[in-house]
Amino acid sequence: MSSQRSLNQRLLLWSLGALVLVWGCFVALAYRTGVHEADELTDGQLATVSALLLDVSAQVPSGAIPGSRAQIGALAALPHKNHDYQQSLSAVQWDAAGQVLWQVGEAPVPAFVLEEGYANLVLGPAAQHWRSFSHWDEARAHKIMVMVRLDDRDRLAHDIAGQMVEPALWLLPVVALALGLAIGRGLRPLHQLSQELAQLDVQGAKRLEQHHDWQEFDTVVDSINTLLARQQVALARERQLANDIAHELRTPLAAIVLQAQALGGGLPVPAQAQALELIRTDALRAGHVLQQLLALARTSRGQWHGSASPVDVAALARTVAADYAQAAWQRQDSLAVQGPEQLLVSGHAVLLEMALRNLIENALRHTPPTTQIEVQCGQAMDAHAGPWLQVCDDGARGLAAKAAPMGAKPADSLHLGQEIIARVAQVHGARFGIAAAPAPFTTCYRLDFPVSAKA
């Protein structure tokens, strides 16, 4: 089972998380509002009952109040519970002197006070909590107090609030299901694009078709097609390079086999020496090709991208030129170095040395004897240009290169040397190509480093 997470699940979880958060806040607010409104409803009921009882008692003559206490109590007494929201109320009435005129309900008689309004009382030996509302009549001759148990009031409030919140509890799973279906339906074009990518053959010339109706996919499709085009160009170049390498190796190896067979056939001594010399030459040629292949493989490693360090290109040029001084002397060539005492470039010394050796070797291999070769390096005067390194010569090969356009890619029989230098330039973000040759030189191959390569 794959350990990768699904984008569909991620979107669903984040959406549900946000929904639950908002839903929880609204449910808490609704519950709190329901409790508050239920409490207000109970307080209003207490005020209504107190006004009703005061009105009834006002209609009874003053002298008849003691004898009519039972009648008023019967009016104040509530009937049996016929509704879930019906509450058991208690009431008590005093005269102006604080004498109890009558009392109804299970609540103990509270202490007589002159203040009126709402209050929370603790009454009786059991210390029960009561919610009360007391009110004087207009003549301030009688005061009445209506009470309800606080736990009954709270129970009613929570019941009403729960009835308000219950629909939201059923709504959450329905919204979650609808949200999951909507996200799955909305991501269907992305799943279709993923299937097309999975079926795409990077080795072939097929491209993604831009038949999607969503503009967000246009950039993705264009980027993928651009990568595929670059991949095709790289694959074509690699195939061409492989064919060239196979052809280049086939010739010396076949010659070595033929000369070895001839040596086994009993050649004369002069012919044997000539055959051995040919074998040595072809072996060196094949070895050079293999050495170039190894260098090309080293430049292709991903470890070179990043972790660069300052490299003294001027000192590197002097060191490499000194290594080829003997080969140049044997060909009667002149090999010189021109540049500052120090030129620091941010890069990789191994790759830069490899590129410089290939430039010098190409100059020695593809020019006639007595050629003047010079390794040059320096810093461009333009603030927008970086350091540069080039190898120039005045050989006959420069006559053809002189007509080549600026920046054109140099070519030889196998392109391995140029391919190595081009990849080294790519690692360093530099440009490689033919540059204008200063007199008396006719050909220059140059590496132009970016401004960021200054160390």
Query: Tokens at residue 173, please?
Result: 């799973």
Q: Please check the confidence at residue 336 and state whether its pLDDT lies above 90.
A: yes
Overall average pLDDT of the 334-341 stretch: 94
Question: What is the residue-averaged pLDDT of the chain?
Answer: 77
Q: Which of 81-90, 132-141, 144-153, 390-399 has the lowest mean pLDDT?
A: 81-90
C-beta of residue 300 within 8 angstroms of C-beta of residue 425: no
- Residue 59 pLDDT grade (very low, low, confident, very high; cuts 50, 70, 90): low
Cα angle 311, 316, 319; round to 5: 155
Instruction: Please state the domain extents for the chain.
Output: 7-77+87-169, 216-298, 303-453
Of 192-196, 214-218, 257-261, which one has max mean pLDDT? 257-261
Considering the segment(s) 216-298 as one domain, its CATH architecture is Orthogonal Bundle (1.10)
Confidence at residue 202, expressed as pLDDT on a 0 to 100 scale: 64
- Residue 151 pLDDT grade (very low, low, confident, very high; cuts 50, 70, 90): confident
Confidence at residue 106, expressed as pLDDT on a 0 to 100 scale: 82
What CATH number does domain 303-453 carry, 3.30.565.10, 1.10.630.10, 3.40.50.1100, 3.40.50.300? 3.30.565.10
Confidence at residue 87, expressed as pLDDT on a 0 to 100 scale: 67
Residues 226 and 245: their CA atoms lie apart, in Å, by 28
Confidence at residue 296, expressed as pLDDT on a 0 to 100 scale: 62
Confidence at residue 60, expressed as pLDDT on a 0 to 100 scale: 59
Q: Please check the confidence at residue 305 and state whether its pLDDT lies above 60.
A: no
Confidence at residue 89, expressed as pLDDT on a 0 to 100 scale: 81
- Per-residue CA distances from 270 to 146, 263, 267, 280 (Å): 138, 11, 8, 15
Confidence at residue 410, expressed as pLDDT on a 0 to 100 scale: 41
Q: Please check the confidence at residue 228 and state whether its pLDDT lies above 80.
A: no
- Which comes out higher in pLDDT, residue 264 or 23? 23
Q: Please check the confidence at residue 119 and state whether its pLDDT lies above 70.
A: yes
- Residue 447 pLDDT grade (very low, low, confident, very high; cuts 50, 70, 90): very high
pTM of the model: 0.46
Question: Which CATH fold would you assign to the domain 7-77+87-169?
Answer: Beta-Lactamase (3.30.450)
- Which comes out higher in pLDDT, residue 226 or 333? 333
**143: exposed, middle or buried (Cβ count in 10 Å: 0-12, 13-18, 19+):** buried
Residues 212 and 190: their CA atoms lie apart, in Å, by 10
Alpha helices for 265-300 (secondary structure H): 269-299
Confidence at residue 335, expressed as pLDDT on a 0 to 100 scale: 94
Tokens 């690699």, residue located: 238
Confidence at residue 241, expressed as pLDDT on a 0 to 100 scale: 66
Given the DSSP bridges, would you call strands 89-95 and 117-123 parallel, antiparallel or unpaired?
A: unpaired
- Which comes out higher in pLDDT, residue 297 or 26? 26
- Per-residue CA distances from 341 to 101, 220, 315, 318, 446 (Å): 119, 50, 8, 10, 19
In this predicted model, what pLDDT tens digit does every residue of 65-95 receive, in sequence order? 444 444 555 444 444 455 556 667 888 888 8
Confidence at residue 333, expressed as pLDDT on a 0 to 100 scale: 92
Overall average pLDDT of the 124-141 stretch: 84
Overall average pLDDT of the 361-377 stretch: 90
C-beta of residue 136 within 8 angstroms of C-beta of residue 116: yes
Q: At what angle do helices 188-198 and 150-186 cross, to 10 degrees?
A: 40
Q: Which of 343-347, 381-385, 404-408 has the lowest mean pLDDT?
A: 404-408
SS3 per residue for 220-235: HHHHHHHHHHHHHHHH
- Which comes out higher in pLDDT, residue 401 or 358? 358
Residues 20 and 16: their CA atoms lie apart, in Å, by 6
Q: Please check the confidence at residue 405 and state whether its pLDDT lies above 50.
A: no
Q: At what angle do helices 416-427 and 349-365 cross, to 10 degrees?
A: 150
Residues 386 and 452: their CA atoms lie apart, in Å, by 7
Overall average pLDDT of the 111-138 stretch: 85
